[in-house]
Amino acid sequence: MLEVNGLRVSYGGIQAVRGISFHVDEGEMVALIGANGAGKSSTLRALARLVNPVGGNVRYRGKELLSLPAHQLVAEGIALVPEGRGIFPRMTTSENLRMGAFSRNDKQAVERDLEHVFSLFPRLAERAQQVAGTLSGGEQQMLAIGRALMSQPKLMLLDEPSMGLAPIMVQKIFEVIRTVASQGMTILLIEQNAKLALEVSQRGYVMESGTISLTEESAKLLADPKVRAAYLGE
């Protein structure tokens, strides 16, 4: 579904992503793990066209992603849930969710999907009329994922959904990620919490200083002593 070849991202003189290649097949959940500053978010931002890569190409469902206009990505089925969430703080929960469906005009299906998001995250249903800026961190993360789902994505790009959340909240959010994945969603997941990421994904890539140093089935990465020492705190 997604095939990345030789992707490069630079900020001025800093090369954050140094020609990486990887792929995500339809229906797969793939994890991208690595230390702070390894270039994970830059990779995702390049795929979501929030930064312009300086090299490489990306095939997405048979199209050259980097030559599509950035505003077309949502319609193409790509949804980014960014690090730091990016919700609209002055709008209510329900308004935020509807914003996720802005490119759709199938009103009835939008209402049905809204109910679906509320069933995945009952907490959001209880807070439908609450201004999003006053939601807790975990609730805002739920909202960001819910809003992405409202665009009916084919590929979700998740940047550190567990960041800054208490274990119970992380557990809830990952339950939903698993549910969504089991319903056939294709997911590229970035996580600082490598253990969790490798537990829920099928395959993983390890990023180090802008390059991919290792790729394997997630279960094998989890068992790899080098990975355990470097990323699982053992």
Ligand X SMILES: Nc1ncnc2c1ncn2[C@@H]1O[C@H](COP(=O)(O)OP(=O)(O)OP(=O)(O)O)[C@@H](O)[C@H]1O
Name the site residues for ligand X (rule: CB under 6 A).
Answer: 11, 14, 16, 34, 36-42, 83, 192
Query: Is-contact 172 210, C-beta < 8 A?
Result: no
Build a one-symbol-per-residue string for 38-57: x at contacts with Mg ion by CB under 5 A, - elsewhere. Answer: ---x----------------
Closest CA to 104 of 94, 95, 113: 113
Shortest Å distance, C-beta 54 to ligand X: 13
Strand 155-159 with 186-190, pairing? parallel
Task: Output the smallest distance, CB 42 to Mg ion, in A.
Answer: 8
Nearer to ligand X, 37 or 86 (CB): 37
By a kind-dependent CB cut-off of 5 to 8 A, residue 152 interacts, out of ligand X, Mg ion, none, with: none
CB of 200 to ligand X, least distance (A): 18
C-beta of 117: minimal distance to ligand X in Å?
Answer: 26
Q: Please choose which of Mg ion, ligand X, none residue 34 contacts, taking the beta carbon within 5 to 8 angstroms, the exact cut-off set by kind.
A: ligand X
Nearest CB to ligand X, comparing residues 113 and 159: 159
Rounded-to-integer distance, Cα 41 and Cα 195, Å: 18
Q: Which is nearer to Mg ion, 191 or 224 (CB)?
A: 191
Phi, psi of 123 (to 5 degrees): -60, -35
- Least distance (Å) between residue 33 CB and Mg ion: 11
If residue 29 lies in a helix (H) or strand (E), which one and from where to where? strand 29-34
x/- map, 98-137, Mg ion, by CB under 5 A: ----------------------------------------
Q: Give 3-state DSSP helix, strand, coil % of the chain, rounded to 5.
A: 40, 25, 30
Please tell me the distance from the alpha carbon of residue 163 to that of residue 161, in angstroms, as a whole number.
Answer: 6
Q: CB-wise, 84 or 122, nearer to Mg ion? A: 84
Q: Which stretch binds Mg ion (CB under 5 A): 16-24, 80-88, 119-127, 219-227?
A: 80-88
Residue 80 contacts residue 48 (beta carbons within 8 Å): yes
Is 3 within 8 Å of 23 (Cβ atoms)?
Answer: yes
Smallest separation, CB 50 to ligand X (Å): 10
Instruction: Name the residue nearer to Mg ion (CB basis): 16 or 114.
Output: 16
45 vs 66: CA distance, rounded Å: 12
DSSP string, 53-84: -SEEEEEETTEEGGGS-GGGHHHHTEEEE-TT
Instruction: For residues 80 and 156, give the distance between their C-alpha atoms in angstroms, rounded to a whole number.
Output: 6
- CB under 5 to 8 A by kind: which of ligand X, Mg ion, none does 102 bind? none
Interface contacts to Mg ion, rule CB under 5 A? 41, 83
